[in-house]
């Protein structure tokens, strides 16, 4: 059975998904990472990947938030923290591979903003790898893998899916 995609039709500016967790959809990958409140507001200020030192501090702080959400039984918060760790990896890799971080040619269509993918745009050629951003990506990947392997997270995710889909 395919996983439900993230529901981009909801008015996330007005929703509090901590109060209404039944509206949350895990989706695929990082879907919704910059939409779901109050978690976006709690986690985003700590998300940095420009240098390995910033990536290390950021990933450790966000992973600590992940553990705090788990301890509170807050699956949506834990999943959002996991998504920020994943996004730290993917964005740092994008900057490692593409000078300036621009992967695709042309603007994102308005109806696709906030969603991942090329949306019919051509991928730009890769630059020589930036070793600083590559190290930042490695740091985030290690914390993302740690979150994914967390048994309490897996149990909470299973329980949440059984309850809400």
| Residue extents of the structural domains in the chain | 26-103+124-164
Contact partners, residue 17, CB within 8 Å, separation at least 6: 23, 24, 36, 37, 38, 39, 76
Q: What is the pLDDT of residue 96?
A: 83
What's the pLDDT at 130?
75
pLDDT digits (tens, 9 = 90+) for 99-140: 755 655 566 555 555 555 555 667 666 667 778 899 999 999
Q: What is the mean pLDDT of the chain?
A: 86
Instruction: For residues 5-20, give the mean pLDDT.
Output: 91
Question: Cα–Cα distance between 82 and 134 in angstroms, integer?
Answer: 19
Span 17-23, mean pLDDT?
94
| Cα 79 to Cα 53: distance, rounded to the nearest angstrom | 24
pLDDT band at 3 (very low <50, low <70, confident <90, very high): low
Six token digits for residue 57: 């501090």
Residue 13 pLDDT = 87
Q: Choose among 44, 48, 29, 33: nearest CA to 133.
A: 48
For residues 21-39, give the mean pLDDT.
91
Tell me how far apart the alpha carbons of residues 23 and 151 are, in angstroms, rounded to a whole number: 24
Greatest CA separation found in the chain?
47
């Amino acid at each position: 059975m395919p996983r439900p995609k993230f529901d981009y039709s909801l008015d996330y500016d007005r929703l509090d998904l901590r109060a209404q967790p039944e509206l949350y959809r895990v989706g695929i990958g990082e879907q919704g990472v910059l939409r779901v409140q109050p978690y976006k507001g709690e986690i985003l200020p700590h998300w940095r990947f420009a240098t390995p030192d910033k990536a290390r501090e950021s990933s450790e702080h966000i992973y600590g938030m992940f553990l705090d959400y788990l301890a509170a039984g807050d699956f949506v918060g834990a999943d959002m923290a996991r998504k920020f760790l994943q996004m730290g990896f993917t964005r740092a890799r994008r900057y490692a591979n593409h000078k300036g971080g621009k992967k695709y040619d042309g603007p994102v269509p308005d109806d696709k903003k906030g969603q991942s993918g090329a949306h019919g745009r051509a991928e730009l050629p890769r630059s020589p790898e930036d070793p600083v951003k590559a190290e930042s990506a490695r740091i985030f990947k290690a914390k993302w893998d740690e979150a994914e392997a967390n048994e309490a997270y897996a149990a909470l995710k299973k329980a949440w899916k059984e309850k809400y889909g």
